[in-house]
Structure 1
Amino acid sequence: MQKLTDAGLHPEQMLAALPTFMAEIAQLAADLEVDLSSYQADHIALRVNDLSLAKQLHHAWLAYGEEWSVNEINGRPIVVIGFEKPLQVDGWTIEALELPYPSDKVYPQQGWEHVEFVIPSASANTDELKVALEQTLPTLAWDSLTEKGIKVKASSPSGEHERLANPTYAFKKGNVCIKLHPCSLKAVIESEAE
């Protein structure tokens, strides 16, 4: 646990840093020109570069909830822990933590990295999701994202047994990212059991 504390990644340190991180998420939403206050903040994700840190984090966060799944996605384990007591921050209730084990990519900053919001739709792919987002969030500033320094990435990550499509749009600025997708992580994990 000392290694986590030294890295500023112990769950108590991460929870203390949550209000500042969510303020950055709110600023990114403002830059996107969208109001996400009425949408579910489905889960929050951590990023680490070191395998031993990831293993310690995995173990440490189990004190705050139960493991919903460990799924191989894009060649690495992604751990999802459902909080025993959902995180309450800035009017949002966050029910789960996503902890990807490290890949070859090195993140400039370890710690909180993104929050995923559910924008409900029946979108089965990224093209359909973009149409749904344009309809549901008509103020989203697609045309000015580049000049605002916001990178956009569309993807369709999926685990081996998932039955529910969950295409995603990621909007990243600096070390903060908002991801929008049509289904909750819990619904996707439950689809694996069907």
Structure 2
Amino acid sequence: MKREEAELFVRKGVHFLQSCGLPISEWSIDHLCYRVETEERYFSMKNALENEGKLLIESKIGGRMISSFLLNQPFEIAQWTIPVLELPAPKQGAAYPEGYDHFEVVVPFSLEKLIKNFPDLAWDTSAINKAHNREIRLWINDWQSVKFHEKSLADCIAQELGG
């Protein structure tokens, strides 16, 4: 987990969102997602991250394991404190370069209102009807994005675990 790369990625994403006219400075960034290319790398990173934070959950989602960690030392990037790192195992048949894939923003209103307020943006709404923490997305480039949610990942995990 390279903190310098995380900072560069978040700053690039924030700049992109600001150029779209989104008031990102008013919203929270709740987690970063770091993708790996192989199962071996997933287990290696997962083991390393267990020394850097608390494993909140590891569960099978979309046919592959995803681990979420509450970091002992959160990312401090600009005005944001980002406490959680998500680490997905690679999907079968999908190739991703290793690195920061997306970050997630929690908005204080519905996703439909966000779309309505910014109708000219190229929203990816393919996951807006997910049963668990629905989302919409804006693509920064071919493989990196910013996702928007109504609840934080940590809150969703706590709810899933009954806490």
**TM-score, with normalisation over the residues of structure 2?**
0.88
CA deviation map 1:37-66 (0-9, x unaligned): 121110000111211011111111122110
| 2:47 corresponding residue in structure 1 | 59
Distance 1:134 1:157, change over 3 A: closer
**How much has 1:182 moved relative to structure 2?**
0.3
Look up the SS of the partner of 1:63 in the other structure.
coil
Q: Percent identity?
A: 24
Q: Does 1:171 align with 2:138?
A: yes
CA deviation map 1:77-123 (0-9, x unaligned): 1100001122110111101000011112101x3101111011134x5
Q: Quick check: 63-72 or 170-179, which moved more? A: 170-179
8 Å Cα contact 1:22/1:90 also seen in 2: no
Q: Does 1:189 align with 2:161?
A: no
8 Å Cα contact 1:153/1:171 also seen in 2: no
8 Å Cα contact 1:49/1:103 also seen in 2: no
8 Å Cα contact 1:24/1:176 also seen in 2: no
**How much has 1:192 moved relative to structure 2?**
1.4
CA deviation map 1:160-180 (0-9, x unaligned): xxxxx4110011121321000
| 1:143 corresponding residue in structure 2 | 120
| 1:132 corresponding residue in structure 2 | 113
Structure 1 unaligned regions, length at least 5:
1-10, 124-128, 146-150, 159-164
The root-mean-square deviation of aligned C-alpha atoms, in Å, is 1.8
| 2:33 corresponding residue in structure 1 | 45
| 2:95 corresponding residue in structure 1 | 106
Q: Quick check: 177-186 or 57-66, which moved more? A: 57-66
Q: What is the rounded CA distance, in whole Å, between the counterparts of 2:13 and 2:91 in structure 1?
A: 24
**How much has 1:134 moved relative to structure 2?**
3.7
Of the two, which has the highest radius of gyration? 1
